[in-house]
A and B are shown apart, each in its own frame.
Chain A
Amino acid sequence: MTTLATAPRTQTQRTVLRERGQHEVFCGLTGIVWLHRKIQDAFFLVVGSRTCAHLLQSAAGVMIFAEPRFATAVIDERDLAGLADANDELDRVVGELLDRRPDIKLLFLVGSCPSEVIKLDLSRAASRLGERHGPAIRVLSYSGSGIETTFTQGEDACLEALVTAMQPTEKAPPAASGPDQLLVVGALADVVEDQFRRMLEDIGIANVAFLPPRRNSGLPTVGPGTRYLLAQPFLGQTAAALERRGATRIDALFPLGVEGTSAWLHAAARAFGISPDTVERVIRAPAARARAALDKWRSELEGKTIFFFPDSQLEIPLARMLSRELGLVPLEIGTPYLHRDHLEHELALLPASAILSEGQDVDRQLDRCRDAAPDLTVCGLGLANPLEREGFTTKWSIELLFTPIQGFEQAADLAALFARPLDRRTALKV
């Protein structure tokens, strides 16, 4: 099924191809792979099936941890037949787990397709278990199920759950009623987070907090004085939850490339009444460094065509950065879900020639990709080798989530990720 719709509120009335068919994407559980590294005292317990456990194992691809900080409570037929009360069983499994892992301070019960379909109420289970094991251990729940979430939406659901646990900011004295806290939202590599913190502090924003925190005890507060800045483009639910807690969004480009990072920092400064000159002074050196580093890649990538299969929801800001800073030509930009409010500025900067598509019918999209014959195809791991076999050069999209790509110092790394497959194809004589 294919429908055409017009995206509202963009400067150019852009046509969006909407498709319903096979979605070749990960489900939201996959977010656990990076979230459990980011929050170092958190444990993610998926309540699901053997499929969920197998997915996590396969998507992670590595088993370097004797006991990873994620696991699956595998539902069996006894749970389904009602012979065992699923809630009692869950309580038992959680007890077993917490006995083994006294280092865990934050436990997420993560819903899956089967737990959603059998309507196992994990939010109630979380509050029950929170009472039993708290306050030393915080228990939260969210859904990473494939029937509700696509890939990075799992992070959105997780952060939304964290927002509900944030304490209200203590009332500021009447004199200081303006913004009192900048909250950067979205999981970033620690190195990127540290760079952003340094720059934001140099700009003069004193109170900067990050969500998710690195540890449970570092969960920031939230209140009407909170201005939040999204670091990732897939956080619609988290944003809505923050708004409900009184926080206000700072509208900005996403911090990919020199342009995106500059705009992102400027937007933050503007919200705190800091002059653009101050920002320019702080970012002059790193931005110049990034521009110089990108130049080396531009000559190689300029004019190359690129095709995005929907995957991480990073596709639109990536296409913006790659087209404007490296001269790549996006042919089709597929995204699992188009969050127009948060991407308004991004959409306006995309070349008019690019086709936008939302949702997926993977077989039709493969047909379009073959017709378009792009120089570079960005896709998931299931499609990469088959496309390579057909002669297409591909970039795995999952790497974009696991690699630090935001900010000035990482701009050239981002370019290199896209140049490497092309270099390799040129280098190989077999």
Chain B
Amino acid sequence: MKLTLWTYEGPAHVGAIRIAASMRGVHYVLHAPQGDTYADLLFTMIERNGERPPVTYTTFQARDLGGDTAEIFKTAARDAHLRFAPDLMLVGASCTGELIQDDPGGLAEALELPIPVVPLELPSYQRKENWGAAETFYQIVRRLTPGTDRPELTDNVPTCNILGPTSLGFRNRDDVVEVRRLIESLGIKVNVVAPLDASPADVARLGAAHFNVVLYPEIAQTAASYLKRRFGQPMTSVTPIGIGATEDFITEITALAGVARPAKHRDASRLAWYSRSVDSTYLTGKRVFCFGDASHAIAAARVSRDELGFNVVGLGTYSREHARDIRTAAEGFGLQALVTDDYLEVERAIRDLQPELVLGTQMERHIAKRLDIPCAVISAPFHVQDCPARYSPQMGYEGANVLFDTWVHPLMMGLEEHLLAMFRDDFEFNDTAQPSHLPRTSTAPATAPPPAETQPAVAMTETPPAAGLITIAVPSWSPDAEKELGKVPFFVRGKARRNTERFAREHGLATITIETLYDAKAHFSR
């Protein structure tokens, strides 16, 4: 039993729903109690899908448990086939369905439906969402590519499949457009994209390609490894996020396709020039913390260091399946990777490291908000506001432009930062002044908690987090030191306060004087 407050991943069957919701002509009959239908709103609310995910939940109740829950499943599967006429049916159980051991696979087989039925065995008490999605995609691929013969490659043009994009994947929809454009510009044809927008018939054609692009290893690795064994199709290993990775990706796929690698083009993405422009000087050495699924977190760390000139101070993931990858990557940064799905552990790490920018998931955004640190979201799980209306891929050259904008904008801008440091008591720009673009009506004190972030579903009032979590004796501030602290620009004042208090504690000082403040400043300066 593990105490869990917020979770990074849903249960394994939600991963399966993501695959069903990504594809066309697939229906999932899920043996599950009522309440499990909440999963629908992930798709209709976070991603604003105009259709319910193609799932029939049996919604059995306690009174059914003594009776025939198997019959309820069979009726649901039969009705779903009649009503939705899918080309392929997935059948399985949620965590509670698993406990009543009705064997949805066997029951569905007995119905002798005239379509392929793929039974899913997703151990709910062991595995999580991404694993469930990967396993489901693999089972579908395996089922739809029977036999031993590889379909003939009729075209002379090299072809590939793009594997891994899904519904509720972070910016997957736009990444597919960007990566497809990139691949086609190199004279390589895209055979099938799956699972996003693929039909079972499309999946059956996967063998008719020279190689597979693993867009998103968390989802596609299992299926791509199978296809490698099955058809001898090689697969890519680079996730093309950032300019460097995009260049590596081009090198990799042109080699796989046997086509000429075009010369690197300096201005393929604006990121390279923007990052070199003098205005970006202030980005140098900004301390950044990266956390997310493994592929996005690793990519973020590389872009941070090599393309924006940040200093990566922390790197981690919630996906234990990819612990090895992230540990290897972290070593390259001289760091020890943080592999945990405990949100409080991540918060502790961020609090201790005091980064100037957090690149993370929805969870880290909340953590960063509380700690008053700028943040950008780079990975699932995400919020409705991370499904922008505009085109905003993460991959390829355009993706690099998007990264520059979304990671740099939360930071204080160039000369502005210096001006603020010079004129500390600026009467217009200080911690009590309103931002210039807001009406001067509200007078929220600087100590007010950050505004509650509400999904439209729920509006609740913010209350301060419960006290009493950590109690460490805090050295007291002398009035002079407190006043001097007030001269530190407000956006770094919290950090200055924490550093000084830490310094005082470490040196056994009960009172903080002006001297202590500047001793601490010298001590912590890079």
Contacts and interface: CB of A to CB of B under 8 A. Distances in A.
Contacts of A403: 459
B260 interface: no
Contacts of A76: 1-2, 125-126
A118 B35 contact: no
Interface string A91-112: 0110011001111000000000
B14 interface: yes
Interface in A368-385: 380-385
A102 B468 contact: yes
Contacts of B469: 66-67, 100
Q: Which of B9, B41, B83, B100 has most A Cβ within 10 Å?
A: B41
A113 B95 contact: yes
A68 to B, nearest CB: 6
Contacts of A363: 79, 83
Contacts of B468: 101-103
Given A22-B37, A147-B96, A64 B1 contact: no
B34 A54 contact: no
Nearest to A71: B5
A61 B2 contact: no
B149 to A, nearest CB: 40
A118 B96 CA distance: 9
Interface string B82-126: 010000000000111001100000000000000000000001111
A75 interface: yes
Given A25-B35, A80-B125, A103 B467 contact: yes
Interface in B1-23: 1-7, 9-11, 13-14
Given A22-B76, A77-B123, A71 B363 contact: no
A9 interface: no
A69 B460 CA distance: 14
A306 interface: no
Nearest to A28: B35
Contact of B59 (A22, A49, A72, A118): A22
Contact of A54 (B10, B50, B76): B10
A386 B425 CA distance: 53
Contact of A49 (B100, B124, B453, B465): B124
A62 B454 contact: yes
Contacts of A89: 1
A67 B345 CA distance: 12
A17 interface: no
A389 B50 contact: yes
Contact of B465 (A66, A75, A114, A384): A66
A59 interface: yes
A93 B35 contact: no
B58 interface: yes
Interface in A339-391: 363, 380-386, 388-389
Given A117-B99, A385-B45, A386-B44, A27 B35 contact: yes
Q: Which of A69, A100, A145, A381 has most B Cβ within 10 Å?
A: A381
A64 B38 contact: no
B52 A382 contact: yes
B61 A382 contact: no
B458 A96 contact: no
Contact of B51 (A30, A384, A386): A386
Contacts of B460: 37, 62, 64, 402
Q: What bracket does the count of chain A residues touching chain B fall in? A: 35 or more
Interface in B448-480: 452-460, 462-463, 465-469
B40 interface: yes
Interface in A19-34: 21-30, 33
B462 A381 contact: no
Contacts of B58: 22
Q: Which of B11, B456, B459 has most A Cβ within 10 Å?
A: B11
Q: Which of A49, A66, A77 has most B Cβ within 10 Å?
A: A66
A176 B477 CA distance: 61
Contact of B33 (A54, A118, A145, A382): A145
A12 B367 CA distance: 57
B100 A117 contact: yes
B365 to A, nearest CB: 9
Contact of A386 (B35, B52, B94, B454): B52
Contacts of A150: 34-35
B48 interface: yes
Contact of A29 (B35, B37, B39, B57): B35
Nearest to B381: A57
Contacts of B328: none
A403 B459 CA distance: 8
Interface residues of B, number: 74
A382 B40 contact: yes
Contact of A382 (B41, B344, B456): B41
A60 B458 contact: yes
Contacts of A60: 458
A22 to B, nearest CB: 5
B424 to A, nearest CB: 31
B252 interface: no
Interface in A134-158: 145-148, 150
A384 B41 CA distance: 9
Interface string B178-222: 000000000000000000000000000000000000000000000
B333 interface: no
A100 B467 CA distance: 10
Contacts of A272: none
Contacts of B79: 21, 363
Contacts of A69: 466
A74 B3 CA distance: 6
B3 A49 contact: no
B62 interface: yes
Contact of A61 (B366, B370, B455): B455
A50 B7 contact: yes
Q: Which of A33, A58, A100, A403 has most B Cβ within 10 Å?
A: A58
A285 interface: no
B459 A23 contact: no
A23 B37 CA distance: 8
A382 B468 CA distance: 38
B65 interface: yes
A113 B455 contact: no
B1 A50 contact: no
A415 B367 CA distance: 37
A209 B467 CA distance: 29
A340 to B, nearest CB: 19
Nearest to A59: B38
Given A74-B1, A93-B1, A117-B99, A26 B38 contact: yes
A398 B458 CA distance: 8
A199 to B, nearest CB: 24
Contacts of B304: none
Contacts of B347: 66
Contact of B34 (A25, A66, A97, A384): A25
Nearest to A143: B62
B99 A114 contact: yes
B137 to A, nearest CB: 20
B432 interface: no
A67 B466 contact: yes
A397 B464 CA distance: 28
A297 interface: no
B362 interface: yes
Given A27-B35, A58-B38, A363-B83, A49 B457 contact: no
Nearest to A113: B96
6 contacts: A49-B96, A57-B7, A60-B458, A72-B3, A80-B99, A147-B60
Given A117-B96, A147-B34, 17 more contacts: A27-B34, A49-B124, A50-B7, A51-B11, A62-B454, A62-B460, A64-B453, A73-B2, A79-B1, A100-B469, A117-B100, A148-B62, A382-B44, A384-B45, A389-B50, A398-B457, A403-B459
Q: Which 4 A-B pairs have the closest CB atoms?
A: A27-B35, A146-B35, A382-B40, A389-B50
